């Protein structure tokens, strides 16, 4: 199925990569949290302070889905100090009912 190309906001790919790296570092430093996540998952970053990136990432999920993987939503402040000890994303795993 052909899909319309998406308009990628300026630097959204770079911002997504930086936040994904920070979230993965956080998960690796918190083995209990990492172990509680599904074995295979699609990470969707939803920055509270970057509506452009949040909408873009939700649009990606809507267009391409997650295949057979569970979806994990990560909410965070994208402009907070990622290297700080206070970096702690909120992780949500929707439950099927």
Q: What is the Cα–Cα distance from 66 to 52, expressed in whole angstroms?
A: 21
Write down the pLDDT at residue 57. 95
CATH 3.40.50 given to domain 12-92: no
Query: pTM for the full model?
Result: 0.79
List average pLDDT for each run of 10 residues in the chain, which is 97 residues long. Answer: 61 89 90 92 92 93 88 86 67 81
Q: Across the beta sheet with 70-76, what order do the strands follow? A: 41-47, 70-76, 90-92
Residue 37: per-residue pLDDT = 92
Q: How big is the CA angle at 78 (ends 34 and 58), to the nearest 5 degrees? A: 75
Per DSSP, 45 falls in state: E
Instruction: State the pLDDT at residue 83.
Output: 53
All structural domains of the chain with their residue ranges: 12-92
Closest CA to 22 of 70, 84, 69: 84
């Amino acid at each position: 199925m052909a899909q319309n190309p998406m308009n990628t906001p300026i630097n959204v790919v770079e911002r997504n990569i930086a936040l994904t790296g920070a979230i993965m570092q956080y998960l690796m430093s918190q083995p209990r949290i990492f172990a509680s996540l599904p074995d295979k998952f699609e990470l969707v970053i939803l920055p509270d302070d970057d509506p452009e990136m949040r909408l873009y990432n939700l649009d990606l999920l809507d267009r391409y889905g997650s295949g057979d993987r569970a979806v994990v939503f990560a909410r965070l402040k994208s402009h907070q100090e990622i290297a700080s000890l206070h970096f702690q994303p909120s992780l949500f795993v929707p439950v099927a009912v």
